[in-house]
């Protein structure tokens, strides 16, 4: 009997990608044969990086870490439509806290009802349970630009929450 190849999509804004996201990706690849990191274009979220920049940064991380079976793309529209287009078997979602569970449960039930696609949840590791791209964007924007060549303390504190290459891009972005 031939083994079925299981393709998953991991949708999100990833603006920016965090160490928590990478934790879910690493652990998801132990379950799935293929994983598409699907960067959604959201007209309602304030963007730090463009979707194209996020695709580039995440693809670079995947290459640096020599992770196989992973691709990175951006998409417009509904996640379930994108999943169908990519012939994905499942949607991968990361959970950080009980607050996430309620929202994600409702979303997963809706996706299954309207498109027949299942969702697999992976709890992020404890050290990333409080991290979110939204909080990182807020800290970065509220910390202000570098002064006299010094990175604001709030931004410097982000170095433990996001990959080094993303941290460096964030610092460059704030200088603009």
Catalytic residues, by residue number, are: 21, 45, 96, 133
- Structure tokens that stand for 80 in this block: 């379930």
Query: What does DSSP assign to residue 31?
Result: T
Q: What does the H/E/C string look like for 49-101? A: CCHHHHHHHHHHHHHHCCCCCEEEEEECCCHHHHHHHCCCCEEEEEECCHHHH
Tell me phi and psi for residue 4, to 5 degrees.
-80, 135
Instruction: Yes or no: say if 94 and 124 are a contact pair by the CB < 8 Å rule.
Output: yes
Q: How many Cβ atoms from other residues are within 10 Å of residue 148's Cβ? A: 4
Report how far apart the first and last C-alpha atoms of the chain are (Å, whole number): 57
Please tell me the chain's helix, strand, coil percentages from 3-state DSSP, rounded to the nearest 5: 45, 20, 35
The counts of H helices and E strands in the chain are 7, 5
């Amino acid at each position: 009997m031939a083994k079925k190849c299981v393709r998953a999509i991991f949708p999100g804004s990833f603006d920016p990608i965090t160490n928590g996201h990478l934790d879910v990706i690493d652990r998801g690849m132990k379950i799935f044969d293929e994983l598409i990191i699907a960067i959604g274009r959201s007209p309602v979220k304030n963007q730090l990086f463009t979707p194209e920049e996020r695709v580039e940064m995440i693809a670079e991380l995947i290459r640096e870490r020599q992770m196989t079976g992973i691709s990175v793309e951006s998409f417009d529209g509904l996640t379930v439509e994108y999943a169908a287009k990519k012939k994905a078997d499942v949607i991968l979602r990361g959970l950080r806290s009980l607050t996430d569970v309620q929202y994600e449960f409702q979303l997963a039930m809706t996706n299954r009802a309207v498109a027949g696609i299942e969702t697999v949840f992976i709890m992020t590791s404890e050290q990333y349970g409080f991290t979110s791209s939204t909080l990182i964007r807020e800290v970065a924007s509220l910390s202000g630009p570098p002064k006299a060549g010094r990175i604001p303390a709030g931004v410097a504190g982000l170095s433990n929450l996001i990959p080094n290459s993303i941290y460096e891009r964030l610092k460059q972005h704030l200088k603009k």
